[in-house]
A and B are shown apart, each in its own frame.
Chain A
Amino acid sequence: MKRPHIKVTTESARFLMSAYRPNGADAQDPVFKKALEQIGSDPGLAKWFNDQREFDEIVLERLNSVQPPPELKSAILTGVRTTMIHRERFQYRWLALAAILLISCFILGKFNFPHAANQFDAFQSDMLALFHPLPVLDLSTDSFEQTQQFLKANAAPTAPNVPEELRRMQTAGCKSLRWRGHMVSVTCFELPNGDFLHLFVVNKGTFADSPIPHGFLKNGDWHILFSESDGMVLMWMSRAPMNELRMLV
């Protein structure tokens, strides 16, 4: 009963040690550790192992005596240097192209697509242009409530949290329009002094993450104020004196 067990262990050791490199690089590999211990206690296995190592060493030595053609190394290095030069040139070309694209995008963005920070400027400029000459309103009514119902029915943004004083104020009417793909609504209030106050409402997402300008802005004889409420950006625009507007909004 013992012999078959010993024989299997020896066979296993021989099987494992066939993968043991003759230069001893695998000496620390735990896979070979037990097999090496077995070799130490089995003279027959030890002889086989010594013969095996000698065989491996001679084969290795003989195979290593086969030398590559003398010009091969220089041919490889020359070929590789050429490849590297091409690769670097190729990379530089890509870098140059990327730089050109970047500059082009910047220039195009500068002239055609206002930077996020300038989007409010563009918005107010475009809306001001709408009032030269005066726009044709979609709905003419003196009721603020009616303007909001009309805008809502036309899927245009309505004004949230409008001060009560303005709600009670008479309106000229309202209009909806598209600006760069976004719906914009405008409600026109008639101020007691005869001036108009125009309220533009647009979704805040229209301006991405750009910060809303603070305080009153002046554009020609127009006074402009931006505010934010319930995810909407409100732009108030009037020729009325600034302090009067301040009291209203």
Chain B
Amino acid sequence: MFRDINFEDIVSEHYASLYRFALSLSRNEVDAADLTQQTFFIFAQHSRQIRDASKVKCWLFTTLRREFLRGVRSQNNHPHVEFKPEIHDSPAISPDALRSLDGKAVMDAMTKVDTTYRVALELFYLSELSYKEIAQVLEIPVGTVMSRLSRGKEQLKATLSESVFERERKIIPLPRDEKASH
């Protein structure tokens, strides 16, 4: 289809991570799928303008984010941003406790992180972009990316700790006798 770029390979390589990024932005599976499709649609239209194949990933994530923001602006539906107090010392969360959470729970926890930090964090985890590429996608200095990642991770740990705590609180331990009868 393309002279230099194999489109099918690009879709196969990036569609899942783009979908996850879209899901974290839109928080809606249908919108996430639409955003992912729209991103590849734009890519198909402009692929000949991308001369460096190594920039494709960064281009796709930048485009998806722009499309999301465009949609948000057109709907005049700015996401509510709740600013939380800064957390300097994140609460400890054991790896086992963390592993006990499923993907959806981690994704939900991610959505509770301040938007300012969340987008950098999502790009870090979901796209596995480098801090330089994240800076490019978000059009901010690299120092700001590092700062947002650092603070974002602290908030994510705090949110995940809460999730683990909430989950454990819901589990009511059975009395010893009842346990024995099973």
A binds B: yes
Instruction: State the main secondary structure of chain A at its contact with B.
Output: helix
**Given B7, B45, B125, B131, which contacts A63 in the complex, CB threshold below 8 Å?**
B125
B-contacting residues, A12-60, CB 8 Å: 14-16, 18-19, 21, 23, 25-26, 29, 31, 52, 54-56, 58-60
Asked whether A79 is an interface residue with its Cβ less than 8 Å from the other chain, the reply is yes
Asked whether A104 is an interface residue with its Cβ less than 8 Å from the other chain, the reply is no
Q: Encode A49-82 as 1/0 by CB contact (under 8 A) with B.
A: 0001011101110111111110011011101110
Which residue of B is nearest A69, CB measured?
Answer: B33
Which residue of A is nearest B109, CB measured?
Answer: A59
Which residue of B is nearest A80, CB measured?
Answer: B44
Cβ-defined contact, A76 with B45, below 8 A? no
A-side contacts of B15, CB under 8 Å: 68, 72-73, 76
Q: Encode B134-177 as 1/0 by CB contact (under 8 A) with A.
A: 00000000000111011001001100000000000000000000
Cβ-defined contact, B45 with A83, below 8 A? yes
Which one of B34-42, B51-59, B62-70, B72-80 contacts A? Answer: B34-42
B-side contacts of A76, CB under 8 Å: 11, 15, 36-37, 40
Cβ-defined contact, B41 with A80, below 8 A? yes
B-side contacts of A25, CB under 8 Å: 128, 130
Cβ-defined contact, A64 with B103, below 8 A? yes
Asked whether B84 is an interface residue with its Cβ less than 8 Å from the other chain, the reply is no
**Given B8, B128, B150, which contacts A18 in the complex, CB threshold below 8 Å?**
B150
Q: Encode B86-111 as 1/0 by CB contact (under 8 A) with A.
A: 00000001010011011111110010
Cβ-defined contact, A15 with B36, below 8 A? no
Cβ-defined contact, A80 with B40, below 8 A? yes
Cβ-defined contact, A63 with B126, below 8 A? yes
Distance A47 CA – B134 CA, assembled complex (angstroms)? 27
**Given A56, A62, A72, A87, which contacts B103 in the complex, CB threshold below 8 Å?**
A62
**Given A55-B98, A63-B125, A73-B15; A84-B131 close (CB under 8 Å):** no
Q: What are 23 A-B contacts with C-beta separation under 8 Å?
A: A16-B146, A19-B131, A19-B149, A31-B131, A52-B153, A56-B153, A59-B125, A63-B103, A63-B107, A63-B125, A66-B103, A68-B15, A68-B32, A68-B36, A69-B29, A69-B33, A73-B11, A73-B15, A77-B11, A80-B7, A80-B40, A80-B41, A87-B44
Distance A59 CA – B20 CA, assembled complex (angstroms)? 13
Cβ-defined contact, A68 with B12, below 8 A? no
**Given A56, A67, A87, which contacts B45 in the complex, CB threshold below 8 Å?**
A87
B-side contacts of A62, CB under 8 Å: 98, 101-103, 105-106
Cβ-defined contact, A66 with B104, below 8 A? yes
Distance A65 CA – B125 CA, assembled complex (angstroms)? 12
Which residue of B is nearest A15, CB measured?
Answer: B150
A143 CB → nearest B CB, Å: 70
Cβ-defined contact, A77 with B8, below 8 A? yes
Asked whether B16 is an interface residue with its Cβ less than 8 Å from the other chain, the reply is yes
Distance A54 CA – B12 CA, assembled complex (angstroms)? 27
Asked whether B19 is an interface residue with its Cβ less than 8 Å from the other chain, the reply is yes
Cβ-defined contact, A58 with B37, below 8 A? no
Which residue of B is nearest A72, CB measured?
Answer: B33
A-side contacts of B180, CB under 8 Å: none
Distance A77 CA – B128 CA, assembled complex (angstroms)? 23
B-side contacts of A79, CB under 8 Å: 37, 40-41, 44
Q: Encode B1-24 as 1/0 by CB contact (under 8 A) with A.
A: 100000110011001100110010
Distance A157 CA – B109 CA, assembled complex (angstroms)? 87
Cβ-defined contact, A15 with B146, below 8 A? yes
A-side contacts of B12, CB under 8 Å: 73
Distance A59 CA – B107 CA, assembled complex (angstroms)? 9
Which residue of B is nearest A57, CB measured?
Answer: B95
Distance A73 CA – B16 CA, assembled complex (angstroms)? 8
Distance A144 CA – B67 CA, assembled complex (angstroms)? 79
**Given A18-B149, A25-B130; A58-B41 close (CB under 8 Å):** no
A-side contacts of B124, CB under 8 Å: 19, 21
Cβ-defined contact, B147 with A58, below 8 A? no
